[in-house]
Each structure stands twice: as C-alpha cells, then as structure tokens.
Structure 1
Amino acid sequence: MPHQKAVVKTTDMPDDMQQFAVEVAFAAIKTGADNQGIASYIRDAVRHEYPGNWHCIVGTNFGRMVGRVVTMTPRTEGKVKTIQVVRDLSPDPSEVYHKGGGHLNGIIVNKENSNLCNDSETQEIQLEFTCLMHNSRTEEGHAENRRLKFWFIEDTDHNRKLHDSYDFFKDLVNQETFPKDYVGFIKRMLKLLQSDRYPNLRRVDLDIVPLEPCSQDAFVPEVDQRPVELVVREGLLRTLEDAYPNVLSMDDLIRLTNHDDTGLLVKQLKELETTNFIQPVCIESGSEKKWGYRRKLNVLHKVEVIAGAAKLKSISDEQKPTVAIITNLLCEKLAVDSLIERKTTYIRYETKGDSNVYTIGYIGSVKVISVKLPMVGWERQAKISSSGIVTRLLGTFQTIQHVILCGVGGGVPHVYEFKKHSRLGDIVVSAPSEDSSCPDSSQPWYIFCEAVDYVNGNASPNADGDTSQQKQQEVAFTHKKFAPKNPILLTYAKALLEAGPTSWHPIIEEGLNNLKDHEFNFNRPPAETDKLKIQIGDEMIVDVKHPEPPGEVPPPPLVRLGCIGSGHAVTQCQSFRDLFAVNQNLLAYDTEFDQVLASLLGNGVGSFLIIRGIADYAEGRQGTDAGGASTSWQPYSALTAAAFTRALVLKLPSMESPSHFVS
C-alpha cells in the first residue's frame, strides 16, 4: 500500500478530536481497507463521536490520519543501538510491544528486532553529530555519537530532502524542547515524525554510538578561566585594533568594551603602552588635558605620516593606483600588505573624526592601494564613517578602477552538501546566487538584511535569541541586493580556479614567511579546532560532523563562488540566520558592508569583488567582544583571502593607460 502524502493539515481540530481520529485510524488499518476506505471510516466515526463539532473537520483530509501512526523498532548490534521510526501503514500486531495512549496516541513500540541488522535499504540523507546526554536516573552525563538517517516518499525533490532533513534535526535539538535524557529524545523524535510538519518523510533511523569518557571533555561548556585583567586587556586591544587608525577616548572604550571600572581600564592601557602595542594621544589640550588611545602599527616597511589634504593630493597625482583593496580588521590589512611589494604606508592622523591609513605599492605590475576601515558594523556612526572613507578614497585616488573587499567572513553550514559547505580557512568569493557560471548584474552577489518582521506579529527574538513563533508565522525580510555592473573580476577569479590551487596556494607560504615574526599568529590552527557546534540553551552543546567530500578534492583551503549576506537583524539570531541563508542561497556572512558597496556604486565604480576567508560559522567576527570565544582562525583566514586576492590581481593587466580601464 503506497504511503499517503499530506494534503491538508489537521491542526485546526481540537487535540481530543485528533487523538480520537488517530485511534480510529489504527483500528481501520487492521481491517485491511485501502486509504480511501480508511479515510471514510475515520470521517464517519469522528462525525458520530463529535456531532456538535462537525464544522471543525469540514475539508479535513482524513487519509492523512493514516500517516499519523508511527512505529518504533529498536535493535542492538555490538555497542551500536539503532532506533528505527517509520510511518507504518500496516503494523504487525505480533511485533507490538506497547501501544501509546493519551498524547502518545498513534505511537507503537515494537519488540527488539535483530533482523533489522540485515536491512539493505540505503538511507537517502545522513547527518552525524555528537552530544552530551544526561541520565535522569543516575544523574550522570555521557557523550554519544549519533547518526540520523532519512528516507522519503517517492518523487520528493532533492532540495526538499535536504531542507526537511536539516529542519528535522534542528527541530529535534531545539533549545526550547531539547530533552537531555535518552527516553525524552526518542519521544521527541517520534512526535516529530508523527506531526504534520514533515509529510515527505517516511522513515528516520537513529544510530547511537557511546563514546569514551574522555570524549566528554569536549562538550563541557567553555568557561573563561583567564584572570579578569587579561580578559580586559585583550578586549581593549581588539577594540583599538578595530578602530585603527582612529583614536578612542576613555568614554569610547568604556562603551565599546562594556567595562565601567575606569581604574582597571587605565591599568591595562598602561600595560599595553609599556609593551608597545598602543600609544596615548592628546585629544584635548588646555588646563586639563584629555587623552585618547590608538593602536600602534609595528611594520618593517616605510611609514610616512602626512598632514593636510594638499600632501595627500600630491601623493595621488604621483602614485595613481588602479586597484583598491579594502579591509576592516587589522590582521586583514597586515595580511594584504605583506603581499604588496615596493610599498609605503601613508597615515593621516586626526584626533577628532576619521584618520586614514593607505598602503600603496605593487602586486606584479599593478599598482594597488590598501585601506583599513575603522569599525565597520552595526553602529550608525560606524556605517556613516565607512561610507565616508570610501567616498574620500575614490575622490582622492580617481584612477581606481577595481575594488576588492578582502578579509574574513563566517561560513553558512551546509551539513549535507560538501560543495556548498566551507570549512575554516576556506574562501568564499562573491558571485550570483542562482547560477555562478552565468554572471548577471540582475542577480545579487551580496545581500544586506535591514529588518526582520513577522507578517502577523513581532519577530524580535527574546534575550536568548529564541524565535519560537517562526514555525507558525511567515517571516518577512527587508533587504537590499548588490551586484557589480561589470563582472570582470569574477571572470579572472574563475580563471584562477580553473588553473588549480597550485596557482595561488604558494602565496600563502609567501605571506607566512613575510609575517613569521609578527605579533599575530598567521599559521593555520590545528584541524581539530574546526568544530561546527550548535549551542542548545545554556548547558547543551551539539557537535555536528562536517560533510564528507564526495571523492578526491584538492588540499585546503578550497574556494567557492556564491552569494554573501549580512545584517545584524539576522546574524545575531541563529534561526533567522539559518532561514535567511536558505531563502537567499547564501554561502557566507560578513559584517555589514552595505554602505561600502553603496558608496562604490554611487561613485561610479562598476567593478568590485568580495573575498572572504572563513574564520567562524557566524559572520567572521565571533569572539571579538571582550571575553568572547577564540578568534584563532582570523589571522590565517585573512591571509588565505589576501593570498587569493594577490593571485587575482596578478592576472589583471597593468592598466597603466586608460585603454585598460573597464567601467
């Protein structure tokens, strides 16, 4: 008997009516009737039992009730326990161990069946994860590796399989409903398959593999054990690095680091000054001088401090760079600058307003200029600042024809699709989201989400970032889309990919050699630190396995072409971030560069590209707050992006004459 696909949801019926209908469905199955007969049997029984509520069930597809009966069959093979859950149209009464009642109506637990070990039906989708579970009886925790295997009804679209299986997993580990004990987890799995939410799923298997006790250490929630002085000092340094080359006052530092202990801040600032990381700057003279602080740039190449617009204009007239490389983090600029030859850094300091730092030199025969933006991100003042700096850059250096935004970003997990799933250190290059092989200015390369709203309600997540209404209400994203008018840089990037990793991987080693004595550690972190973790509430962490490559793949880092997204409205909420990424087919997120792109387009720059080295699975800035998580992948990922950028620029003509310009 073929499985019946859901057509009409039954969620408008009262719970007691639904439970009664499920019981009737189970009884009807035993009669051997076909789906149409079973549906008629249920309809008549419900109408007889609830004559006053007939209006609740008009239009209901009672054939759907057949799919509300699910069976669970356990088996054990060695240390591996498997739980098989099936939407069962014809359960065998001789195999039934227990039939659920009440809110578990329609759930049947079969006797353990060792014959399942010979099951030859290969799963269509598989997801593997590890979690730390709690035994409510012994009050002990144990780490388990779990494999979810999915089977679908016939003619289910492949993309639907991917979305349903991952959504099922996310529902299963939802922080609001995630059960920490074994029995609760199985019940949750049964109820999800029994629900109307996944009509295309017909079977889900769960393999449970216990891990050694030592494996549990990886799932204990991380607690920062460092002294508070060190945490504050690192937070101050990160904040000043973000702001470089700007000066920050004490009031700025208190606000940005969220520390109001002025004495502690002053002490740690003195420590950073002593170690030559920062320098104090007088920002107000008079009877009581007011001091600010600036990150100190420690480089070996020539640095020239300039004053006045006239000097900057003369530099522009003399240098005439044709490619601009825009960075945000200090490690990003240092990585880019390490791969520029015959360079000079020009710094124009301001005690109030924005300072500017430009490094001008050569990549091959192409003259380039790299610039660092101070504090790109969510604050309105920072966004206005970044837009203004780009406008001044283009106004001062009017020979710029191409712009590359180079730095770190956050990968969007695609746990089933290796071709879309970037690991830490990999690179995502902005490209059309629908078909990267056919550049089209009408297709977005970068999408910025301005706001998230429910169609009927408020979409603001609570303090824990939960948006539990999302499953019941339609979510609307207000967004802006960006694409260059000229895709020439993407054309060169594709040519670089076709040439293979040997065309640009050696540049990473070149950069490492140039940066080996630097205060940042640009070496690739250990592979075991690349973990895809999902936080479930305050205590539970689920470690999801990365997808396996389909065959032989080049050595890392790999490069993928696809759309990049941003927007504080989505990146600060796990569910919104996932949903927006699916809706827009995103491969990565970064911090908000919408104002930068708007400035480029507004100033007539039609050729730009965004190159992001993946530093985390958020937006590339995870852990940059004081006391935040590790940022160990940022320098290396910044270097991989810089290496690919250099290889790309090497493919460009020198553009010494206007005949090479492309607008």
Structure 2
Amino acid sequence: MDEQGDSILKMAESEEIVMTAAKRDGKAIMRLERTFTSEIDHSKVHHVAGGPYKGILINKTSAGLVDVGPAEGRLEFLAYLVNEGKHNECLQDHWTLKFWFRGTEDGLVKKNTYTDYFQELMDPADFPKDYVCFIKKALVLLRGYSVIKRVELQAQQTNCPSPEDVIPPIRSFTTVFTPATNSFRFIPEVCIKKKSFITFKVKAACDVRVALSSIYGDVNRKAHEIVIGAEGNTKSCIRECTNGTVRTESMTMNILSNENFRYFWINWANHHLEVGRGAQYGYGRFLHLHVLPKRQFKVNCLAVATSKSTTGHWEFAELLADHKEEDPEVEVGRIAKRKRIRDQYMWLSRKYRMLHFLEDAFPNVVKVEDLVSKCKMKVSDLFVIAVVLAELQERGLVKEVIEGHWMRNHGGGATQTEDEVKLVKVMPVLSSRDQPTIAIVTTLFCEKLAVDAMIEDKTTFVKCKTEGESQVYTTGRIGKHRVVSTKLPRTPGDVEASNIAAGNSVTRLLGTFSKVEHVFLVGVGGGVSKQHDPDDPVTSDDHVTLGDVVVSMPSNGTNAMYTKCFIRENIGEESLGYSSRTWHSHDETLRRIVKKMKEKSVEDMKHLDQLIKSALVQLSVTDSKFQKPSIVPNTSGESSPEDLSERGTTVVCGAIASISCFDDDESLKMSFAKSNEIKAFDKDFEAVLESLEGNRNESYLMIRGIADFQYGGRKEWQPYASLVAAACMKTIISVLK
C-alpha cells in the first residue's frame, strides 16, 4: 500500500502470514498473523504453502491462543449456509472478524483499511464457496494489507440473530480507549455528520464524557457535552460546551461499571438532545434537553473523554453500507468520497513520514532529494513534498536552512520562540563560569525535548552544516550545575553510519566543552520483565514494566554496566558460543548517588513525580504526546491497564545490554538476561561508550525509560519513557555535590 511508511515496507520483506486454529469458549477461532520469519516456531508448523500461496504457513491446531489484548476494530455478520452432507440443511453462523494494526496510522485509515479488506473478502463476484475457500481468500488478501498486523475469524453456530435485536447482520465496531486525563479525543472514524443518533457501549468507573461538536478539534464553542456517571457515578448531565453551564441533570446511581460494558444511546434530532441507557432508542431515557435557538448548530463530529478518576473502553457500532441496490450516481459519489479520504490520509502519511525522518536526522540538514529517496517517494511527488514542507514550516516544525536543505526545528511547534534557538557557524566561547560540567546525550528527538524540559535558563545553539554532520547544544542549569545537552543524528536504515556519527558527535561534544566531568546517556529502552520467567519470583524492587526507569549499575558480581553481545554461533549440536564486551565507569560518584536514592526511594519518587508533572506543562506546547499512555495490551510480559494505573514509576538498578544476536530466540535472550542480571535492552549504544572511553571520561551513567519489552521502539510510549528517564536524571544531578 502506497500510504504505508518505510518501516512497514521493510518489515513486509521478511514476513510470512501464519494461520493458527484453536477453540475458545466453544467457538472456532482462526488467527491470521503477520509474523517475522525469524520469529516463526517451525516446530508448530503443519504446512508451508507454495505457488500462489507462497508466504503462507499453517500451524498445527493449538490448544489455546496467546492473549494479545483488545482488538482495534471488529466486524460481525450472520452467515447462512447449506450443509450438502445433511440433505441441504440450512445453518446460521454468527461470524466475528477482529483486527489489530501496526504503525501509527489514524483511526479513520485503520477503519477504511479493514472495511476494504472485508468488502474484498465478501465480493459477490468471487465469493468463497465454503469454509476452506473463505480462509484461503482471507489469507491471500491479508498479504496486500500491510498495515493489518493480525486478523481473527471466530465462528459460532446460532439459531437467533445478534444479541441486540433489530440490528441488521453486518456491523462495524470501532474500539476507542480514553486515558484518565480529561482530554477529549475526536473520533473521525465514527462519522456522524449525516446522523442524528448513535449507540455505543462503554466500560469505566465514572465520569464518561461525550462531546457533540460542530467544529472538528473544538469542544469549547459550538458543542454539547454529555456527562454520564458524574460525581462518583451518581449523577448525569448535559452541559453547554465542555465544563460549561449545566442545562439538565438527573440522578443515575451506579449507571456505569468498571467491570462490564454498559450500552447507551444519544439522539439530537429536531433540536432535542436525549440520552438513554440500552441499545434501543426510546427506552431508558434519563436525560432530555430542548436546545434553545441561540445554541442550535449542526453536529458534525464526535469526541469522547474520561476524567482523571478513570480510564474508558468504548465501542461504537455502525452498519456496514450495502451498496448493491443504490443509485449508480450515489455509488459514484461514494467512491469519489472514499478516494478523497484515502488521498487525505496518504497525504498525512507522507507528511509524518517526512517529519519523523527529519527528527531522526536532526541536527543534520536534509536535502529534498534525500527526503524523496529515504521516504520512498517518487520524483513526481516533488510538488507534494514542497506543499507538505511549506505546511510544516508554517506550523513551526521545520525550516529551510538554505534553498532545498531542510531541518527539524529544535522546538515543538509554532509557540516556540526563535530567540531560544541560535543558528551559528562557530560555537561562541563560553566564560569559565558558564562552562558546563555535566553533559547529557540523547538519540531520539523526544528524548532531547524531555531532557531540555529539565534545564533552566537554557539557550540552544545549532551549529548547522549543509554538508556533513551538524551539532546541537543546549546549555543551561540544573540546580547548581551548568549542563549541556545534545542529540545524536541518526540515519534510518543505516546502523553503521549512525554509529559512526554518534561516536563523532560525542567526541566533538567533549572537545567543545572541555570541563565536562560527568556524562548522562538518557533515553528509552526495552525492559526485561520477570513475568517471562515463572521460576523467578517477581518483586516490586526488580520487576520492570512500561514507564519505569532502569539505571545502569554493575550487577552479577562484576563491574559491567553495559554489555554488548557481538556474535552468536553454535558449537556442536547443543552448545552456544558468543563473544561479548562490557563497559563501566571508573568514577563511582554517580553510582553512589543512585545507591542512596534507592535507600530512600519513597522520598525521591515523590520528587520524581513532581518533576514529571511540571515538565508535562512545559511540553504541552509541543507536538509530541508526553502524557503516560493508559491502555496497554497484556502481552509479552506487559502489565495490564489496571497494573499500570495503580503502580507508580519505579527506578530499577542493573546492567543494560544490546544482544540483537539473540533476536530470533526469545528463550536464549531471556536466559542471557537472567544470568547477567540484565534489566533493560537497547540498540547498539557501544559507539558512544567507546567514544567516552577513548576520550578518557571516567564518570557516566546510562538511564533508560522503558517503552516496551524489546529495544524501546514502541512509539506511543517513547515520549513518556523519555520524560521519566529525564526526570530521574534531574533527581540525580540535583543531589550531586
């Protein structure tokens, strides 16, 4: 698919479609999953397809399937079958198709994708004649929808329609999660512009909020707000705009549940706003408001939120349009509209692909022709690229340094003032009093923003080159210490070039600021979860989960703070050999501070939370989302949403490692981590450590915020993980003498 990012295209080159059949609660389940070739367990494979089905594997029937968390989209329909083996007996099956996605595409793109997949699957011109053909077609089609990570097909024989009577056979479900932040999330995939009525179900403890707005992105002007289960799940009301004047309310004791979904409907026809409980309009109404003429407007969009007291799990059901009997002109119009929507999201995909590339490259300048090649675009797209760059520049996100050479702005957006960032050809000479004694090194753009949010009285200098490597230095103060932070440039897809650039950048940093005594390597990583090892008891002191912090400290009776496993080779049939190298700082000043922090962890954690809250206010002007994600699939050792909401940030001490040679064997990876007391993984940071060693820096500390359980690549967690790592860094610096 043209709109998919470069990373997805690369991943698709080494993937297979794997089908696994199983039973769950008496229902037949077929899971079709896009899987990396290196991750396939061939001992479970029953059949490897060839010919037109090449790239498809069928697993042996499984006793059960691994829980992968809630689906992001769902379709349900009734299938009417004829059993030729039983005298043409008519059967009725209730089918459910669940969809999971990868990448960071908008919800509307995801919904359009699974709707297109379903319609192509059910095309009358090529309709499968039986179950086997249906599964074959589903597998083959999945190869062409690279944004879909997983599809589950569930079938159950039934004698009655769907639980909600009067709802036709084919329904599309959109799943939405809202964090405990009071922030509204607009849902373009639930189109209400031509509707006057919606039904939905929600699971939350209290305070679920629905905004019906006239203007997309605005809930403060032409909008109605419906609050269900306010004041401790005792009251519901309708307000003008968000947090506006209450126009009507009613007592609704325990109307919501945090354990089970509850159905609701909202109607806004003829300037009457009604809210009721249940799936059928007209029944269970508990709120009604006649909208006064001066407050009347056309409802065009929908947004939902939950208060700071609860998270929310929502599902919106819509009919999947059947176009077969519609007027041809209407169908042509619908096709044209769908094309416009697709073009819009292809535009968005290109825009964010370019922005992410510029963020990785920062502070380096990128030529337009490099954007074309690296972002997998065409020379014919140059006009599109020019328009996109102009829009990003207007928003304050990028700037054209000289004609045809672009750079990501250091700040977060249009609110960033230019006098905070100075483009220079030569770094100005700092007075002895202003020379930093602490350097902070980051790799991701969000890591740099998070670190800079911890610095006071700061000024950023960008030493900009149109050819070669540029440098960015933010100087300022943390507590009584003068500090400088920098970001290492990255070349996506070129590990060797990125490592060389990283080593060179650290060498220049230490050469430019000769009084640096301590270096902090701050950023994201992947946690080593104890849940992977049933024989190793989990304790709150050493269990790492998302949003926690790992500080590099010697472990396992050695001085190793960081371990790099270079190669992996088999010796004989069962033995395993590998070579590794370890690093550690010879100066123990920073390590002694961390040990003291662990001894009085409660006090320091309160300070850590205060730093995070303060930084969130400052970072709210950026385009990056630094708020803590609240909903996490319970997979790969990750904690459940309930676990994360109750568990505060934990700082764990232990070694950090890069062991990509074990990527194809999770058990060996976890065994190595256990034997070496590894607490976190990251991607190949040894070039920086070698540069520190070569420049004879004796005091450094690596701090990793946990973004996933691989290498920290989970994008929705990276900003928050960067923030907690930066807050931990500031806590350590604040007590440094």
Give the shorter-chain TM-score range: 0.5 to 0.7
Residue in structure 1 matching 2:597, options 496, 516, 528: 496
- For 1:358 and 1:369, locate their aligned partners in 2 and report how far apart those are by CA, in whole Å: 6
1:450 to 566, 587, 597: 566
The answer to whether residue 707 in structure 2 is matched with residue 615 in structure 1 is: yes
Quick one: which amino acid aligns to residue 280 of structure 1? E
Conserved? CA contact 2:632–2:641, under 8 Å: no
Q: Tell me which of 366, 385, 388 is aligned to 2:504.
A: 388
The one-character-per-residue Cα deviations of 1:415-440 (angstroms, maximum 9, x if unpaired) are: 144344321111111112315xxxxx
CA–CA separation in structure 2 for the residues paired with 1:480 and 1:401: 24
Structure number with higher strand proportion: 2
Shift, 1:349, TM fit: 0.7
> 1 CA distance for matches of 2:438 and 2:444?
19
Deviation at 1:530, TM superposition (A): 5.0
Give, in whole Å, the separation in 1 of the partners of 2:370 and 2:571: 38
Q: 1:532 aligns with which of 597, 615, 635?
A: 635
CA contact (8 A) 1:301 1:344 kept: no
Counterpart position of 1:642: 726
Residue correspondence of structure 1 range 476-625 to structure 2 within 5 A: 476-499=577-600, 500=602, 501-526=605-630, 528-529=631-632, 531-533=634-636, 546=639, 555-571=647-663, 574=666, 577-578=669-670, 580-622=672-714
Q: Which runs of 5+ in 1 are unaligned?
A: 1-130, 144-171, 187-205, 283-288, 436-441, 457-471, 534-543, 623-630, 654-663
Residues 1:346 and 2:468 are matched in the alignment: no
Aligned match for 1:330, one of 445, 450, 461: 445
Q: Report the Cα distance in structure 2 between the residues aligned to 1:399 and 1:212, rounded to whole angstroms.
A: 52
Q: How far 1:604 sits from its partner (Å)?
A: 1.4
- Alpha-carbon contact 1:132-1:219 (below 8 Å) kept: no
Q: Which residue of 1 aligns with 2:22?
A: 134
| Matched residue type, 2:576 | V
CA distance in 2, matches of 1:182, 1:242: 39
Q: Which residue in 2 is equivalent to 1:425?
A: 547
Aligned-partner residue type, residue 220 of structure 1: F
Aligned to 1:651: 735
Q: Which structure's CA Rg is the greater one?
A: 1
Contact 1:430/1:609 (<8 A) preserved: yes
8 A contact 2:70–2:633 mirrored in 1: no
Letter paired with 2:405: G
- 2:395 counterpart residue number: 275
TM-score of the pair, normalised by structure 1 = 0.57
Distance 1:279 1:302 in 2: 15
SS where residue 342 of structure 1 aligns? strand
The answer for the alignment partner of 2:349 in structure 1 is 231
Larger RCO (alpha carbons 8 Å, 6+ apart): 1
Q: 1:567 to 1:184 in 2, by over 3 A?
A: closer
Where do residues 14-413 of structure 1 align in structure 2 (5 Å cutoff)? 134-135=22-23, 140-141=28-29, 174=41, 176-177=43-44, 184-186=61-63, 220-222=99-101, 225=109, 227-260=345-378, 263=381, 265=385, 268-282=388-402, 291-298=404-411, 299-300=416-417, 302-309=419-426, 311-312=427-428, 314-315=429-430, 317=432, 319-375=434-490, 379-413=495-529
Superposed displacement of residue 300, structure 1: 4.7
2:514 match: secondary structure: coil
Q: 2:425, 2:464 within 8 Å by CA — same for their partners in 1?
A: no
8 A Cα contact 2:460 2:472, kept in partner: yes
In structure 2, runs of 5+ residues without a counterpart are: 1-18, 32-38, 47-56, 75-95, 111-344
When structure 1 is superposed on structure 2, of 259-268 and 176-185 the one drifting more is 176-185
SS in 1 for 2:722: helix
* Counterparts of 2:594 and 2:610, CA distance in 1: 17
| CA distance, structure 2, for counterparts of residue 642 and residue 401 of structure 1 | 19
C-alpha contact (below 8 Å) 2:632/2:638 kept by paired residues: no
| Contact 1:581 1:587 (C-alpha < 8 Å) held by counterparts | yes
Post-superposition Cα deviations, 1:79-113, rounded to whole Å, max 9, x if no partner, equal xxxxxxxxxxxxxxxxxxxxxxxxxxxxxxxxxxx
**Inter-CA distance 394–572: structure 2 relative to 1 (3 Å threshold):** farther
Distance 1:256 1:515 in 2: 29
Deviation at 1:570, TM superposition (A): 4.0
The share of aligned pairs that are identical, in percent, is 28
When residues 278 and 648 of structure 1 are mapped into structure 2, their CA distance, relative to the original with a 3 A threshold, is same
**Cα offset, 1:497, TM superposition:** 2.6
With over 3 angstroms needed to count, the CA separation of the structure-2 counterparts of 1:229 and 1:455, relative to structure 1, is: farther
Distance 1:259 1:214 in 2: 29
Deviations 1:360-399 (A, max 9, x none): 1111111111111111785222211111111111111111
Structure 2: how far apart are the matches of 1:567 and 1:255?
30
SS in 1 for 2:100: coil
Structure 1 Cα separation of the partners of residues 360 and 374 of structure 2: 11
In structure 1, C-alpha distance between the alignment counterparts of 2:66 and 2:459, rounded to whole Å = 59
Amino acid at match of 1:450: F
Change (3 A) 1:325 1:652: same
Shift in Å, 1:404:
0.6
Go from structure 1 to structure 2 and tell me whether the alpha carbon gap of 1:182 and 1:327 turns closer, same or farther (over 3 Å shift): closer
1:214 deviation in Å?
A: 11
Tell me if structure 2 keeps the 8 A contact 1:376–1:592. Answer: no
The number of residue pairs the alignment matches comes to 426
Q: Take 2:363 and 2:663, find their aligned partners in 1: how far apart are those partners?
A: 27
Deviations 1:565-618 (A, max 9, x none): 125444577566445434533211112211111111111111111101011121
Q: Aligned letter for 2:101? A: E
Aligned partners of 1:553 and 1:139: how far apart in 2? 32
Distance 1:304 1:185 in 2: 58
The structure richer in helix per residue is 1
Once the 2 structures are TM-superposed, how far is the Cα of residue 491 of structure 1 from its aligned partner?
A: 1.5
RMSD across aligned positions (CA): 4.0
Distance (whole Å) between structure 2 residues aligned to residue 267 and residue 576 of structure 1: 49
Structure 2 CA distance for aligned equivalents of residues 262 and 474 of structure 1: 54
Amino acid of the residue matched to residue 141 of structure 1? Answer: I
Counterpart contact for 2:456–2:478, Cα < 8 Å? yes
Tell me by how many angstroms 1:342 deviates: 1.2
Runs of 4+ off more than 6 Å: 178-183, 206-209, 211-219, 547-550
CA 1:575 to 1:242, structure 2 compared with 1: closer, same or farther past 3 Å? Answer: farther
Contact 1:376 1:386 survives alignment (8 Å)? no
CA distance in 2: counterparts of 1:248 and 1:175, whole angstroms: 43
What's the TM-score once normalised by structure 2's chain length? Answer: 0.52
